[in-house]
Structure 1
């Protein structure tokens, strides 16, 4: 098994990409035959009801996790809530699932999005650099039909 620091994580639901505010987190590659990963989120109580519902329904969730350094590309995972531990003011949510390989990496998806949004020339270059450094993931949202 290999353990990594979880820097940030976003939940993708339909047309929305929502940052999950974590206090701390770990991600573990179990290196088993099923390619399972564990993601532990340590957070405040306000997010408890969503995760409790997902646990009870065994709902599959799509999340994008930034691992080790904020400069790293977000990695897509399909997970289910495995367990929830409550503490006085915080909760620990354990997610289990698998890494989903995208055909395109973050830079390609970002560039496609910026071109579709009408950026070109120097403005394209500057916006691309800005978003590459911040790893903002809002462009991964589905566009309204």
Structure 2
């Protein structure tokens, strides 16, 4: 097994991203031959209702996590919520799932997003370069129109 630190957590809802401020997090590649990953996040209990409802729906939940360094591209996973533990003013959420095979890399998604927002020419190039450094979050499920 390999473990890594989780830097940020987002949940994909209707092709939009919802950010959750985490206190700490850990992701484990189980290396079980089935490409299974465990993601545990420790966050404020203000989010408990959202995650309890998601767990009760028993549907897959697409999450995106940034692993190890803030500058890394987010990794997308299709998960289920294994358990929710309440601890005073915080909760621990354990997700289990598989890494999504993304057809498009981050640069393609970003470029498509900028074109859809009307950027072109030198302005497009400038925005693209700037955003490749700042790495704004873009849903991994976005459908490129290029």
Question: TM-score w.r.t. structure 1 length?
Answer: 0.90
Please list every run of at least 4 consecutive aligned residues from structure 1 whose deviation after the TM superposition is greater than 6 angstroms: none
Which residue does the alignment assign to 1:101?
101
Q: Secondary structure of the residue that 1:31 maps to in structure 2?
A: coil
Which residue does the alignment assign to 1:72?
72
Question: TM-score w.r.t. structure 2 length?
Answer: 0.89
Which residue does the alignment assign to 2:110?
110
Q: Deviations over 1:73-111 (max 9, x none)?
A: 111100010011111110100000000011111111111
Aligned length: 143
* TM-superposed deviation, 1:43: 0.2
| Distance across 1 between alignment mates of 2:79 and 2:139 | 21
Which residue does the alignment assign to 1:44?
44
Which residue does the alignment assign to 1:85?
85
Contact 2:6 2:66 in 1 (8 A): yes
Unaligned runs of 5+ in 2: none
Q: Secondary structure of the residue that 1:59 maps to in structure 2?
A: coil
| Distance across 2 between alignment mates of 1:117 and 1:28 | 37
Unaligned runs of 5+ in 1: none
Between 35-44 and 13-22, the greater mean CA deviation after superposition: 13-22
* TM-superposed deviation, 1:10: 1.1
